[in-house]
Amino acid sequence: MPVGTSNIYGKISISDDAIAKVASHAALECYGIVEMVPRRLRDSISALFGRNSSTKGVNVSTSGDRIFIDVYVIIKFGVSISAVADSLKNAVKYKVEEFTGMIVDTVNVNIIGVKL
C-alpha cells in the first residue's frame, strides 16, 4: 500500500518498493553490513529468478503517513552488534525520511548471521 501526501500542487504517492530500495541502499552503505538477506523462502526463490533483488532483506509497511521498516542483514564478524544496529537504524531512518518527507515510525534490525 503506497504512502501518500498532498500539498497545494497535488498528490504525491510513493510505493512500498521505492521506499524499500532507498532503505536497502542506505543499509548497504553502513559499516559492518555485509549483505541483505531474504526474509522468507518465497523471497529466496524470487531472487533466483532475478525478481526484486534490490529490495531483498527489507520489508516496508505503512499506516497513514507512518512508515514501518524491517531490515534483515548479515554483519561482519568482530564489529559491535549494538553499534552497527544503531548506525543502521539511524541511516535508514534519515535516508527514508529525507526521500519521502514522511515520518519513519520504526526501523527493526534483524541480524540473521555473521560472516568473517
pLDDT digits (tens, 9 = 90+) for 16-38: 999 999 999 999 999 999 999 98
Chain Cα centroid distance, residue 98: 14
Measured CA distances, 86 to 16, 49, 80, 93 (Å):
23, 33, 10, 11
What pLDDT score does 91 carry?
A: 96
* Rounded Cα gap, residues 58 and 73, in angstroms: 9
Query: Scanning the structure block, which residue is given the C-alpha cell 532483506?
Result: 57
The overall pTM is greater than 0.85: no
Residue 88 in grid coordinates: 543502521
Dihedral (CA of 46, 52, 53, 56) sign: negative
pLDDT of 80 reads: 95
Contact 21, 57 (CB under 8 A): no
For the record, the C-alpha cell of 96 comes out as: 527514508
Tens-place pLDDT, residues 49-76: 665 566 789 999 988 778 999 999 999 9
DSSP structure class, residue 54: G
Report pLDDT digits (tens) over 39-53. Answer: 755 555 555 566 556
DSSP annotation of 55 reads G
Q: Find the mean pLDDT for residues 104-111.
A: 95
pLDDT at 92 over 70: yes
Give the chain's domains with CATH numbers: 3-115 (3.30.70.1350)
